[in-house]
Amino acid sequence: MKVLLVTGGAGFIGSNFVHSQLKNTENKIINLDKLTYAGNPQNLATLANESRHVFVQGDIGDSVLLEKLLADHQPDAVVNFAAESHVDRSIHGPEDFIQTNVVGTFHLLEAIRAYWNQLNPQSQQSFRFLHISTDEVYGSLTTDAPAFSETNPYAPNSPYSASKAASDHLVRAYHHTYGLPTLTTNCSNNYGPFQFPEKLIPLLIMNALQGKALPIYGDGQNIRDWLYVEDHCSAIAAVLAKGSVGEVYNIGGNYEKTNLEIVHTVCAILDELVPDSPYRPHHKLITYVKDRPGHDRRYAIDPSKIAREIGWQPAETFESGIRKTIAWYLEHRGWVENISSGSYQNWIAKNYGAR
């Protein structure tokens, strides 16, 4: 059994990773999450009696707390999911993104460096710090450009992606300057269970079921590469086990879709799975809204390095993953209702109301 400190483990991808680790390994998870709007304790509700899961509410910027957690639990690895991660929110309020993604990552790295320095040589050699990042740090692609590889220069276009790029650079610097055994992964758009409903796919599902408008930015032709979250979790586990120290691995689903294709797919599956919906056919709810500032046209990930060096491939197609995702939301309407609080509704009104 290994001990993993997972930061941001109550969020969308982090909570899926925690569940995956507890299901598929004997590892013990120390789960640190600040529980901001996107960190949801309900994502961990089924783990209440799991002795291998220890939840701690706290901030990666709290150096005293980090020092204590590292000393008390002596983790073999740290997996850092903690981040502000929504482009629209970063446009409305960039400061939180700088504080969490840049300053918070700095404090986390400093605490881990101090902890790692006092480990014995064997433990130092086996320790890993895995930093979870995004394809958005690479900027935007034209429709005919090759997909992003690990050698693409960084060209972030939003406060969110700029803050993640800065954190990636810090992680790289701590490896090259201090020898900290780091790994970085840059993933494409995730979807699946437990995703906060400000993101496209859960927003479409929720709004369609309630007969609300399905807002599509601009002309709907922005392209994203889509990755089922459980595939992402298996890739992270593979990188943690087999990745070369100091390296970056791009994780993608090999499924590029326009936003308009996504909404039509979701609507068609809802028409099938909810035949008694008064809003069928759901595609009638599609509404085009004013594009967001600086909206990147296309992201696409080239995952050939992780396939070649580690042997990872996604298990789900987009068609199978999106069906599982929609089925999960239909089966967990209580989770959806509880997360759709007044603050979330205020955010939706703020972001989409003027469009």
What tokens appear for 115 in the block?
Answer: 């902890």
Dist CA 200 CA 300 (whole Å): 17
Distance, in Å, from the CA atom of 212 to the CA atom of 192, rounded to the nearest integer, reads 21
Active site residues: 135-136, 160
DSSP letters along 204-254, please?
HHHHHHHT--EEEETTS--EEEEEEHHHHHHHHHHHHHHPPTT-EEEE--S
Q: What CATH topology corresponds to 3-191+228-253+298-315? A: Rossmann fold (3.40.50)
Query: Coil, strand, or helix at residue 154?
Result: coil
Residue pLDDT tens, the chain, 355 long: 899 999 999 999 999 999 999 999 999 999 999 988 778 888 999 999 999 999 999 999 999 999 999 999 999 999 999 998 667 777 888 998 999 999 999 999 999 999 999 999 999 999 999 999 999 999 999 999 999 999 999 999 998 999 999 999 999 999 999 999 999 999 999 999 999 887 899 999 999 999 999 999 999 999 999 999 999 999 999 999 999 999 999 999 999 999 999 999 999 999 999 999 999 999 999 999 998 788 889 999 999 999 999 999 999 999 999 999 999 999 998 888 777 664 544 544 555 465 5
Residue 100 DSSP label: I
**303 close to 252: Cβ distance less than 8 angstroms:** yes
The greatest distance separating any two alpha carbons of the chain, rounded to the nearest whole angstrom, comes to 65
Position 190, amino acid: N
How high is the pLDDT of residue 326?
A: 98
SS3 content of the chain, % helix, strand, coil (to 5): 50, 15, 35
Tell me if 27 sits within 8 A of 52, measured CB to CB: yes
CA–CA separation, 245 vs 128, rounded Å? Answer: 8
- Domain ranges within the chain, ordered by starting residue: 3-191+228-253+298-315
Residue 1 buriedness (CB in 10 A; 0-12 / 13-18 / 19+): exposed
Inter-helix orientation angle 229-242/12-24, to 10°: 60
